[in-house]
Amino acid sequence: MFGPNNGFNNMNQMNMNQMNQMNMNPMNQMNMNPMNQMNMNNQMNMNQMNQMNMNNQINNMNQMNMLSRIKEEYDMCVQDNDLIQIGCNFGLINNNIYLWRITMVGPKGTPYEGGLYTIHATFPMNYPANGPEFKFMNKIYHLNVDFKNDLGHICINSINEWRIRGKVKDLPFYTVKQALFDIFCLFYNQGVEGAYDQGMANQYLNNRDAFNAEAKRWNDLYAKM
């Protein structure tokens, strides 16, 4: 009396076994795995794109902050009475905020008196983490300005530390204004220890009149207003 139901149950059991066998079939698994892999790859690509977008947003924000900082410093320098009094004038090269053109007038009582000296300041892309590079653009006969190997490069420890290491020892809040005053002090001071040319340094130490005469000659040749 239970035969037909048992037969029906047996058929159901066979169908279930067949379905389970199909799911376990390597071919079916192969058909599903590529889809899963594609979905995983798409998810990874989306994550990478999201990370790139976040990085771009951060870089854009940093760029805007940096531009704002440079513009603010430029405006402050242009209007700064202390810098005006030492004869500093400012302009931008090709209207590029990263490239400043600064002029200084050689002070009285020095071999550079009456000379008009042009200095270029090049700001790095990560400013103010690292400071700008300053160079004299016209020749100056000075122990700490290199015109043999690196045209116009200035040897001042504070400026070099700021440019290379991103900070100045004992001067954590070093600014462009302070750097320009350090450069202006070069007209009065010669650092023998930081001299680029040993022959020039010997002349400065042993025959100051000859050194000053040569500095004045260069001033008249290359920095005449």
| DSSP-derived secondary structure letter, 224 | B
Nearest Cα to 141, choosing from 193, 88, 204? 204
| Token pair 């979905």: residue | 39
| Token pair 């420890």: residue | 157
Which amino acid belongs to residue 172? P
- Which member of 77, 88, 155, 185 is catalytic? 155
- The token duo for 160 is 């070099």
Nearest Cα to 100, choosing from 86, 115, 85, 88? 88
SS3 for 83-123 is HHHCCCEEEEECCEEEEEEEEEECCCCCCCCCEEEEEEEEC
Buried b (16+ CB within 10 A) or exposed e, 59-75: eeeeeeebeeebeebbe
Max Cα separation, the chain? 133
CA angle 97, 103, 106 (to 5 degrees): 160
Catalytic status, residue 155: yes
Report, as residue numbers or ranges, the catalytic residues. Answer: 155
